[in-house]
Structure 1
Amino acid sequence: MRDVIIIGAGGGGPVVAKELAERGLDVLMLEAGARHANPEQEWSALENHMNSSLSGKLRFGPSDPAKPAWFREQTTPGSFSQVAGVGGTTLHYYGNSPRAMPGVFAGYSGRDRRMYDHRHKFPFSYDEMRGYYEWTEATLPVQTAAMGTKEKAFFDGAAAAGLTPITGKDVTHAGFRPQENAILQPGGTAGQTSDPSQLNYPNATGCTLCGHCFQGCMLPKGAPRNLKARRSTDNSYTPMALTADLWKSGGKAVTLVSDAYVTRILSDRRWGRRMQKATGVEWRDVNTGEVHSEDAKVVVMAGGCIENPRLWMNSDLPDPNGWVGRGLTDHALDWVTGIFDHDVGGAKGTSCSSRADFPGYGAIQNTANTPGAAANNLALSDSGIRGAYTNGLGSRGAWDGEAGRVFGTELKDMMSDINRQMSILVLTDDDVERQNRVDVSRVFEDDHGPVARVSIDKRRRSRRTQRNRDYLANKSAEILRAAGAKKIIRTDWTPVLLHLHSSMRMGDHHRNSVLDQNCEARAVEGLFIADNSALPNSLGGPNPTLSTQALATRTAEKIFQQYFDGDAWVGSESPICSIDDVVTQAVINRGL
């Protein structure tokens, strides 16, 4: 019997694995997708090769590209942007690591407290969470982003639009700031040249400013895995977990099995219809079809906001209050683009290094993409084609004309020089709404059971969510106009299922949450959740990964205390950073 089995090696699972293995527990981590052991040989900067949802290296599907991607049913228009494999969706995230807004935590008494979804808060205070943020920020590490041309243009526009700088990591007023991101700062020749032959480790360290964040981070070439620039969990927590026995006295290396799709959580049903005890998992080898099972004292679900509800329902686990899969939030994303008559560095450097925050409304961030992704973003809309039809949704605002998708000559002209574009991603503080949900399909099955069915009806979003989204789109247009944009387009994105959270939410009451304040399932003892789905709300708008990882650190600590008679560690000791010399040597010794 294992001490702990973790389902999923994406953004949250490796955090729990590393923290518990460091303290000597026997941890098995199962990942349905691939383990990318040699990204320098396997990956490229080619967009379709890496990101095709059908056959790309970074897709939601099995490691064998000849096999079809895994299917989800979606009841409303939209697109999925998720990745299976060790690292999960952090394989193509931009490393953005801001903290949540203080207003989404219990006990918040600021003047803007009524601006938030006050019915669905973190069931503990921001002051308590701060220690876990600090631990996670030191472990990754999180650093202030490197600045460049597009960042200066964004900041100049924000200042001209009347915003002031934000200092520190706790956001209490509207303003602009550099991203706090999990990307190592450029060192040596990195950032000094674009010649690939001059960007090899150890002459180059940290971010090389290549601009290909969405294609996975494999640079600098020659660097050990834990010294790759962007701190996706395959570069940070996973190497630490796999070498815990080498760098930590008393530590025990995590056992990682990829291509292992968990199909059932095993439980002791003698506890009754409304309360069970998790005892292990059943999983299927994606390549051979063989079925395995293993027992554990504790099971941690970290398969993501879509797969966790699916697995729960396919395991016939109890759902006494009907909240499993409910309350899905997605930041009600939107896309606003400005076109300039001069180079603003639109596609140069790190993909997303500057932001503006608006407590009570959400956040916006200057986001650069490679050409294929940029063109896709401009053409993905619920409002129809600009200037042709609107689907009844193409609103007017501080942007030019009605919102909608760009096509034809206009799209061709906009894409003629991508460095004259500045694009802003809107991250809405959206409400936890019960009708937005994940359940299982009544029609479609695959080798692992009924597939997940996702429902987010954009047209039924709450009045506050719609107000916040429109407010942030207008603020984005104002900043672009003040920065000198000659044309501004609001896309009115159809739902892009990227910043998903809250489908298995924690809370302060059994009536409207799946998890208690320790992220343990209320209806299944010994079953915890450690990914975005555990988050109780939309965080006030900021990117969710850091909050997920800080919460996962707290959850690991609670597991250690509650089930293994251990002591708390956050606040009583210092984290060992994943880029420390002792960890690096352990990674090299193990050939990672």
Structure 2
Amino acid sequence: MRDVIIIGAGGGGAVVAKELATHGLDVLVLEGGPRHARPRQEWSRLENDANNPLSGYFRVGPEDRSKPAHYRELPQNSFLWQVSGVGGTTQHYFGNNPRAYPGAFAGYDGPDKAMYDIAHHFPFSYDELVPYYEWVEATLPVHTAPMGTKEEIYFRGCETLGIPVQTTKTTLGPSYRPQENAILPPGGHAGRTTDPAQLAYPASTGCTFCGHCFQGCATPVDAPRNLLAKRSTDNSYIPMALTADTWSPGGKAITLITDAMVTKVRAERGEVKGVTWRENSTGELRSEDASVVVMCGGAVETPRLWFNSELPNPNDWVGRRFTDHYLDWTFGLFDHDTGSSRGPASAARTEYPGYGMLMNTGLMPGIEAFALTFSDSGIRGHYTNGRGIAGPWDGPAGRLIGPELKDVMLGGIDRMLNVLSIVDDDVTPDNRVTLSAMPSDENGSVPKVTFHNRGRTQRSVRNREFLARKATELLRGAGAKEVFRMDFPALPLHVHSTMRMGQSEANSVVDHGGEARAVRRLFVADNSALANSVGGPNPTITTQAVATRTAEHVFQRYFGGDPWVRSQAPVVSTDTRISRRLAELGL
């Protein structure tokens, strides 16, 4: 019998695993996707090879890519972008780690408090979470992003918005700043050359400015796994968890089983007992008991597993209130080089508390073309799909196709500057995960993910329109000759709240410590536990801070432990002891 079983090794599960292993607990981590142990050999920079949702190495599905991807029913115009495997969706995230806005938390009393979704606050204050933010920021570690050409142009536009530069980690008002990134800063030759011979470790360290963040980070060449530039959890927390017996006094290395899909969480008389999982390669079912189970499969798979396990749902909140930041895309064309494809994919941001945020996003050609052809407003200049949103951008909102798309793409992505709007959207009841009526797969009933882009609240729509206009103003101020707005349909990249924690038993699934209200000793510590859309900022570091806090509650409630965040100094994931131990283990 294990002390703890963790379901999922992504953005939240890896954090809980490392924290509990550090304190000597016997931890089993079950991950439904693969572990890319040798990314230099297993990955490429070809966008389709990485991101094809059916066959790419960044898909949701088993390790064997000749087998089908896991099916999700999407009954609307949308695209659900998640990744399975060790590291989860952090494998292709941009490393952005801004803190949530204080207005998303209990006790906030700022002058703009009415601007937020006040019915769904976190059940604790922002100040209470700050030590956990600091812990994660030190562990990853988080740095101020390095700047390049696209950031210089972006900030030139920000200077015309009449807002100040932000100099604190806590956002207090409209402002702009470099990203807080979990990407190691360039050292040695990195960022100074494109000569492959000079970009290998140790001559180069940190970010090499390759621009391929979305396809996973495998640079610098020859660097130990825990010194790869982007601090996705497969490069940071999982290496720490696998070597906890080396660098932590009293620590115990986790057991990690990959390509193992959990099909049932077992409970008796309101208390968790263990899990059953299926080995994807053989189909064999295995079970193990544990004192505590932590669900970290993500905002789609966690509620799906809950339903397939027939766990209680007394208030009907499991799977409900899926928030997605109601994303939108605006871009400008310039008559000079913007450097859009070089450096960290996103290194500059603009904050508008109460509305959300903007950030620059540099992409490779394939994903750029996807972004320019993805719209809920139909084809620009041909039909409006019932929307045809007009504004300060050039022409109506809508996707580019044919000669117009060809002309834009042939001009080159380094003549573009992209701005992503990330909205502080409301926790909306009808955006939800349920079980599909489609045929089950080998792991049980498949999830049905429902988003109503045209049924958003007035506040969410207001916020999105405000940000689209600010993005256009920014691009014009930066010198764009033309500005286009896409009006994205539902694109869940940032997904939250389907198992939300809350202040009331009436509208939440887990309590303030992450423990399920309906099943004792069962915790949730992934994005699905977030109480709301965190005000608009990228959610990963908030998930990881909350996951750290949840791990501490697991330790205190069921293993007689003391809190550690305020009494210890965190060990940084780039510690050389971890590198040496990984080498000994052949990892």
If the length of structure 2 is used for normalisation, what is the TM-score?
0.99
Give the equivalent residue in structure 2 for 1:521: 516
Q: Deviations over 1:438-461 (max 9, x none)?
A: 010122310001100000110000
Q: Is the 8 A contact 1:81 1:497 kept in 2?
A: yes
Give the equivalent residue in structure 1 for 2:267: 267
Which residue identity lines up with residue 345 of structure 2 in the other structure?
S
Shift of 1:585: 2.1
Secondary structure (helix, strand or coil) at the match of 1:176 reads: strand
Distance 1:109 1:217 in 2: 41
Give the equivalent residue in structure 2 for 1:539: 534
Q: Deviations over 1:369-427 (max 9, x none)?
A: 00000000000001000000011112111211110000111111111111010001110
Q: Is the 8 A contact 1:432 1:537 kept in 2?
A: yes
Q: Is the 8 A contact 1:394 1:403 kept in 2?
A: yes
Q: Is the 8 A contact 1:261 1:284 kept in 2?
A: yes
1:156 corresponds to 2:156: yes
Shift of 1:344: 1.3
Give the equivalent residue in structure 2 for 1:175: 175
Q: Deviations over 1:102-138 (max 9, x none)?
A: 0011011100000000000010011100000000000
Distance 1:385 1:326 in 2: 32
Q: Deviations over 1:12-64 (max 9, x none)?
A: 10100000001000000000000101111111111111111111111111111
Shift of 1:587: 2.2
1:204 corresponds to 2:211: no
Distance 1:506 1:590 in 2: 38
- Equivalent positions of 1:399-418 (< 5 A) are 399-416=393-410, 417-418=412-413
Distance 1:344 1:443 in 2: 46
Give the equivalent residue in structure 2 for 1:467: 462
Question: 1:588 is matched with which residue: 539, 558, 583?
Answer: 583
- Equivalent positions of 1:435-454 (< 5 A) are 435-454=430-449
Shift of 1:5: 0.2
- Equivalent positions of 1:467-486 (< 5 A) are 467-486=462-481
Give the equivalent residue in structure 1 for 2:485: 490
Give the equivalent residue in structure 2 for 1:192: 192
Shift of 1:588: 2.3
Give the equivalent residue in structure 1 for 2:89: 89
Which sections of structure 1, spanning at least 5 residues, go unmatched? Answer: none
Distance 1:186 1:443 in 2: 48
1:358 corresponds to 2:358: no
Distance 2:427 2:214 in 1: 28
Distance 2:482 2:342 in 1: 21
Which residue identity lines up with residue 290 of structure 2 in the other structure?
A
Give the equivalent residue in structure 2 for 1:310: 304
Q: Deviations over 1:136-184 (max 9, x none)?
A: 0000000000000000100011102322211111001101100001000
Distance 2:49 2:313 in 1: 41
Bigger mean CA offset, 434-443 vs 135-144: 434-443
Give the equivalent residue in structure 1 for 2:77: 77
Distance 2:494 2:58 in 1: 17
Give the equivalent residue in structure 1 for 2:284: 290
- Equivalent positions of 1:277-426 (< 5 A) are 277-416=271-410, 417-426=412-421
Give the equivalent residue in structure 2 for 1:61: 61
Q: Is the 8 A contact 1:578 1:584 kept in 2?
A: no
Q: Deviations over 1:265-305 (max 9, x none)?
A: 0001xx2xxxx111100000001000000000000000000
Which residue identity lines up with residue 378 of structure 2 in the other structure?
G
Question: 1:562 is matched with which residue: 557, 562, 577?
Answer: 557
Shift of 1:68: 1.1
Q: Deviations over 1:489-542 (max 9, x none)?
A: 100011111100000000010000001000100000000011100000000000
Shift of 1:306: 0.3
Shift of 1:582: 2.2
Give the equivalent residue in structure 2 for 1:232: 232
| Aligned length, in residue pairs | 586
Question: 1:508 is matched with which residue: 503, 510, 517?
Answer: 503
- Equivalent positions of 1:231-250 (< 5 A) are 231-250=231-250
Secondary structure (helix, strand or coil) at the match of 2:438 reads: strand
Fraction of identical pairs, as percent: 58
Q: Is the 8 A contact 1:243 1:590 kept in 2?
A: no
Q: Deviations over 1:234-267 (max 9, x none)?
A: 0000000001011112110000000100000000
C-alpha RMSD over aligned residues: 0.7
If the length of structure 1 is used for normalisation, what is the TM-score?
0.98
Q: Deviations over 1:305-359 (max 9, x none)?
A: 0001100000000000000000100000000010011111121111000000100
Which residue identity lines up with residue 146 of structure 1 in the other structure?
P
Q: Is the 8 A contact 1:323 1:504 kept in 2?
A: yes
Distance 2:220 2:388 in 1: 44
Secondary structure (helix, strand or coil) at the match of 1:511 reads: helix
Shift of 1:591: 2.2
Which residue identity lines up with residue 429 of structure 2 in the other structure?
R
Bigger mean CA offset, 344-353 vs 128-137: 344-353
Distance 1:87 1:553 in 2: 16
Give the equivalent residue in structure 2 for 1:530: 525
Bigger mean CA offset, 388-397 vs 135-144: 388-397
Shift of 1:581: 2.1
Which sections of structure 2, spanning at least 5 residues, go unmatched? Answer: none
Secondary structure (helix, strand or coil) at the match of 1:582 reads: helix
Distance 1:21 1:587 in 2: 16
Give the equivalent residue in structure 2 for 1:15: 15
